[in-house]
Chains A and B, each alone.
Chain A
């Protein structure tokens, strides 16, 4: 299996605080890899480092062998590494369909001027984006809300919309930031199926998550962070039996641990 993303000895310092300390691992093609860890373990920082919203203090991130650290986020997105956001980050004032259509921007063949003048290429793009958006919306069960303003959607649907936006960019790797946070059991079950569906489309999934049962259920492999350091990496079974991991979580007195 090829390694799509390589995180190589990445370190991020904020002043005196070392948020991510010398972390290395690789994401393989078409796998679902989860990064877990107690609060403040550096998961979100790591996420921003991979999607290039932050630059590492040292180390580098490679995508298909090419360095992506230090590039602008929109360039990294164009290469195929796309993140979704922890909060329900969407275009609040637009309809669900417009949200997904605008996210097709990366696929456009026409230039800005082309869109302004309404050239044939631009029109073909628009038609194609509309069709593809409808398909993604149906795939994520958002059909009923298609024409609603995004800010009026309930929580679970917002998360689905966030993923729809990510999918619309036609990513190679999608980074999901806590896709199950704040969901009840039923919603989580549905969301887990949704993430599996994303992988079935041929997309590699890297996710950061708190919800242990969901992570154990969905992941092919898991990377565990604690205080910015990688303390374990392996299959869900290996992680569940790992002494260091149990200690980290018990030490944090996290009672929601679901092993």
Chain B
């Protein structure tokens, strides 16, 4: 019953974003929306990672570091080793997950503001590393990264070579949206399995969790690795679209935004980061008209939202449900 409803919901959502949205865009001629919506999809993947760390009770302001890392891993593999981009995508995620295990083992012992501060520093460390390492080409960055090639299995073309497309943007949009749906479906399953409950137990009381036999150190590292995997995935995909990466491609501001997306959408819901990213990104664009007041209005609205909707935008929907 519940399963059929879920499958139906996913099908409707896929239909809207894969058929409805492109149709609307072509009809209205607003082709720039492809790029905007692709960004929303990819940023929400990275934000979903931050959400996982929130789920075990840690404030993560360091996702920019892993987005940058994932971007560089993919770019270097594509440019210097000629690996297919589609193979570098999971590799970038796995590299970030492995790095986050090494980083997470010591820092995940910290809680609250201390953990948050260390992760904030991580983003800056990643930027400085990208500037200093020879393989990343320093401040000049890596440019003219080739577009992703095609994928075909048994002669059947699954994805065309992006370089042969007249306009690769719709293709990037479709791939990014599918990637986003896959990530969120995997996350949904995680949260609604026993692992989700275990994560919640960490969030609510680590000592008690430990006393009932939960290996809290192990679970924390797993959650952080999943978080960083998603960050690397989002970063790598971004690089493929912009065909370039610089040390400043993902900065502290991005890290903060990833976190804000989760706050705004709602920490209690898997789809919080998706909604949050969508609203935040479009809200920012929408306020572009106000010129120099853009940041002021934007920040004020954010503060108001956090004051009046501390559980995020999705808590509105939940409230309506409970009444009914």
Contact = CB atoms under 8 A, between A and B. Distances in A.
Given A116-B190, A118-B193, A105 B198 contact: yes
B211 A82 contact: yes
Contacts of A90: 205, 208
Contacts of A94: 197, 200-201, 204
B213 A89 contact: no
B213 A106 contact: yes
A106 B212 contact: yes
B193 A115 contact: yes
B204 A92 contact: yes
Interface in A155-207: 165-166, 168-169
Interface string A48-63: 0001010000000000
B213 A126 contact: no
A49 to B, nearest CB: 14
A252 to B, nearest CB: 29
Interface in A74-117: 74, 77-78, 82-85, 89-94, 98, 101-103, 105-106, 108, 112, 115-116
Contacts of B217: 72
Contact of A85 (B193, B197, B201, B208): B208
Interface string B207-232: 11011111111000010000000000
Contacts of A236: none
A73 interface: yes
B194 interface: yes
6 contacts: A82-B212, A83-B211, A91-B205, A98-B197, A101-B197, A112-B195
B200 A78 contact: no
A122 B204 CA distance: 24
Interface of B: 189-190, 193-195, 197-198, 200-201, 204-205, 207-208, 210-217, 222
A44 B222 CA distance: 32
Contact of B208 (A89, A115, A116): A89
Contact of A102 (B189, B190, B210, B212): B212
The 6 closest A-B pairs by CB, nearest first: A106-B213, A115-B194, A77-B213, A91-B204, A73-B210, A103-B212
B223 to A, nearest CB: 11
Contacts of A118: 193
A29 to B, nearest CB: 21
Given A73-B210, A112-B194, A115-B194, 7 more contacts: A72-B215, A73-B211, A82-B211, A93-B200, A94-B200, A105-B213, A106-B212
B212 A115 contact: no
Given A91-B200, A102-B201, A74 B194 contact: no
Contacts of B197: 94, 98, 101-102
A91 B205 CA distance: 6
Interface in A12-29: none
Interface in A109-133: 112, 115-116, 118, 122, 126
Best-buried of B193, B205, B208, B222 by chain A (most CB within 10 Å): B208
Contacts of B208: 85, 89-91, 165
Nearest to A107: B213
Contact of A89 (B193, B194, B205, B214): B205
The interface centre, meaning the residue of A98, A102, A108, A118 with most chain B CB atoms within 10 A of its CB, is: A102
A122 B194 contact: yes
Contacts of B190: 116
B207 A105 contact: no
Nearest to B202: A91
B200 A74 contact: no
Contacts of A115: 193-195
